[in-house]
Amino acid sequence: MPAIVVIGAQWGDEGKGKATDQLGESVDYVVKFNGGNNAGHTIVVGEEKFALHLIPAGALTATCTPVIGPGVVVDLDVLCAEMDELAERGIDTSRMKISANAHLIPSYNRTLDKVTERFLGKRKIGTTGRGIGPTYADKMNRIGIRVQDLFDPSILEQKVRAALDQKNNMFVKVFNTRAASAEEVTGQLLQYAERIRPMVANTTVLLNDALDEGKTVVFEGGQATMLDVDHGTYPFVTSSSATAGGACTGSGVGPKRIDRVVGVAKAYITRVGEGPFPTELDGEQGDWLREQGGEYGTTTGRPRRCGWYDAVVARYATQVNSLTDLVLTKLDVLTGLDEIPVCVAYEVDGKRYDDMPADQTSFHHATPVYENFPGWNEDISHVRSFEELPQAAQDYVLTLEKLSGVQISAIGVGPGRDQTIIRHPLT
């Protein structure tokens, strides 16, 4: 049975949650391996819409165990509020497992995230202000706080004090804001200790044992390839490893155990926050895509920047992640267009680039080289087989498949669980 990685092949918001959820009925574990509550998955089940931020999409399937891996940073306020909200809607999250090695987001890092963005002014990164970046920085600086520290209050307070010895100087002397209290922060964190204690586990052992037993594990990535801290549009990226390699480091499951790597991409492309975006559309076309696609952030509500499909980005994602499959979402959004442009290459200072330029400056100044393809007017939201799609829609999908360098195994034609065309089974 497979270990399947599901990651974003663009700048996020591609529909990874729906893709993971659709695998859920045949999956035993769904693992969140990176990021925190700075990303959200919207999943539509019947008439109900669920917005998940920290809890893996597998929580919506009763037979699946959701797992928060050691590569995740956890805001306990958000986690518990999300569990409460799901409980009110009849979803039991008590079977969830949380890595003892996952890092916690203390309140002072949320403060630091927000004041740093204000301080940067025009040079801001465009973070969500959730404290994600400062918490990953603490992790690398070895002053982080982990889930397991909740169960040793003395150690917890010592670690909080050590972190605040550095941060309070910044708060007061650089950002002109009040110092944080170690006692107050420790108390905030400890209030959740008993609630999550039954869920805390050595998830690395749990997942490797599950694979040894022939169970199916899906690794659900947050953010996306172009937001990866090493491989994305740095510094306009997230603070974790959002590519397929991150699934291994963020879960404790080695690369030899991964069977399939599924990238998820929209039939066009969006991004949130600052940073270069070659195919971005200003004006009426961008507005039309945003409204047709409902392109507003699940976590922040921010309007997403919209553009045409970028095959250069898709090929890059295929290489970086060793994609075996691509799930193409929101094909239905393009219905009604007479012509659909696709970026097949870039031009920088008169030179054509069929692959990603080596440096950020070239990428920032890249002009898209477009090829135009016929559109369609038929409603495709009810279509469940590839052959039933209008010929122009079929041709568009096959063109993207060829340009992206990986087979398109599933096609989303609406937000619902059942609004998907399966060309090649993923499990």
Burial per residue of 193-230, b for 16 or more beta-carbon CB atoms within 10 angstroms, e otherwise: beebeebbbbbbebbbebbeeebbbbbbbbbbbbbbbe
CA angle, corner 152, sides to 34 and 30, nearest 5?
Answer: 25
- Of 28, 41, 149, 231, catalytic: 41
What burial class does residue 176 get, using C-beta atoms within 10 Å of its C-beta: 0-12 exposed, 13-18 middle, 19+ buried?
exposed
The runs of H, that is alpha helices, within 33-105 are 76-88
Q: Are 231 and 16 in contact (CB under 8 A)?
A: no
**CA 130/CA 273 separation, integer angstroms:** 14
- Maximum C-alpha span of the chain: 66
CA angle, corner 136, sides to 144 and 57, nearest 5?
Answer: 110
Is 382 a known active-site residue? no
The answer to whether the peptide bond before residue 235 is cis (omega within 30 degrees of 0) is yes
CB neighbour list of residue 74: distance below 8 Å, 6 or more residues apart: 36, 54, 68, 98, 102, 103, 104, 105, 147
* Half-sphere exposure at residue 134, Cβ-oriented, CA atoms within 13 angstroms: 24
DSSP states of 29-51 as a string?
EEEE-SB-TTS-EEEEETTEEEE
- Of 13, 28, 113, 149, catalytic: 13
Q: By three-state DSSP, how is residue 68 classified?
A: strand
Q: How far is CA 358 from CA 12, 180, 322, 408, in A?
A: 22, 42, 19, 27
- Catalytic annotation, residues: 13, 41
